[in-house]
Structure 1
Amino acid sequence: MPEAGPTAVLPGRPLTVGELLDSAVLLLRGQVAALLPLAAALALGEQLLLLPLRTAAGVDPPLWWISGFNDFAPFWFLLGVGAATEAMIIMLLGNPATRAAAGALLGHRATTRRLLRPTGARWGATALLCPLVGAAMLLASLLGPAWFVGFALLGAVTPALVLDRVGPLRALARSATLALRVDGRAAALRVLGYLVWWIIRVGLGWGLFTGLSTLGLVASGWAVTVATLAWAAVNAVAYAVLACLDAVLHLETRIRTEGLDIHLSRAPAGMPPAALLAVRR
């Protein structure tokens, strides 16, 4: 087991809310070479996908907000699509993030090559469930407050696939089950983490664009391009942190409710990590 000091990503015990948020950042910091480039590529792809929808909705950079509510329907659909793409990106990033968190819990740091290697990583199952999770979040977002429920319950889908080694359908049920344990603690913390980073994203995205504009660095006709790149950069960091939060929250919930720490302490020496962390079928 790794050292339980203040710099440990996962010290192998139940954590406070602040420790969980810190653990997610520490995990990203330790695996930035693997997670951030992938997050940047996905975030940029998301911005390019949303660009024609933003044009149709009549929104302008940097906040991509509407000036009036006469054409609210296209804007509402834009928000729904954005929520779906966010969920899918976080889920995809959760694959290497989860394996990195497992390594941190077991006391070793996975290399970038190992995290991105497809062998044994269950990328196929992750990609299979990704559109389903995206569709669920799109529908939930179009229903308004249902977004909170969908986002809260689907955070552990990738960790359940990658670490618990359950099937795709069972991963959806296990994610919801873990989220609702201890009076919905994991569900509430996932939403809290999203809201914290949403505030940071808005502040950084708007501030970066405004700062560049104030300095006269945004030429005429380049506002959309600059805003797109700014939001892609900010979102890349946020999505990577949220994927790390899902990973550490999943393992912490298993420690808190399933005695994972006790199981690891009693496991025979030399047992493969996959077998150590898999749930009983």
Structure 2
Amino acid sequence: MKLAFSTLGVPGLPVSDVVWLAADNGFHGVELRAHPEEPVHPGIGPAERSEVVALFQERGIEILGVAGYARVAAPGDDAPVLAEIRALLDLAHDLGAPYIRVFPGGGDEQTAEEADATAARRLGTAAEYATEYGVRILLETHDSHRTGADAIRVLGQVGHGQVGALWDVMHTWLGGEQPQESYAALFPHLGYVQVKDIGSAEDTTPLPLGAGVLPLGECVEVLSRAGWDGWLCWEYEKRWYESAPPLPPLLGPGREHLTRLLTEAA
């Protein structure tokens, strides 16, 4: 498996520094948070996109994906959501990234069945855009659809190879799902896996990998036993928890912890 980290852990850091951190700490790739407050987002032009690609290529680091904030199950008109997804696909295509991330975002204004249908309709339409750009859309296990069982209700309706799943191990755990159950639901659609660690269900402040309660070892074992050979991406949510320790000093030990889990699972 390849290892990456998300720029959510180093908010606002220049791309050159992000690439340096990845290379110097033994990571293979980076997930880019595509928000206007970050250096890389859909609003940057062709020259800036080319510069980003060059910086990553120079150090031999891959751009794993573009983490967007489109909410495919949210109530309202389809057009703005589809436009947001298309902009993310365009950015990912120009950066050479294989994936974009979208959220469910179903909310409380509709039933689960209505949210599923809304998400499936939009993702089905967006799948044609994804085919055009050669990029895969991944629905993250998050908010209204936090478990694999939740996500598969949508993905099963879409039934398109360019639409898949991003397994966030914290959210499936918070949803009461065991790693084997999550993998069994998601594996036909799985793009990559987001790992992290927290102190408890009540306190989701990010911790160094291995210092919390999430079943990371079990997740890695399930993936290894199944012969899955994709990406593990460390999403350290520093952006939302200002009191959390800075990520850069944790990257080396975090990579060592994941490597140890992979060795033990093998």
How would you bin the TM-score normalised by the shorter chain? under 0.3
More helix by share: 1
* TM-score in terms of structure 2 length: 0.24
Instruction: Tell me which structure has the larger Cα radius of gyration.
Output: 1
* TM-score in terms of structure 1 length: 0.23
More strand by share: 2
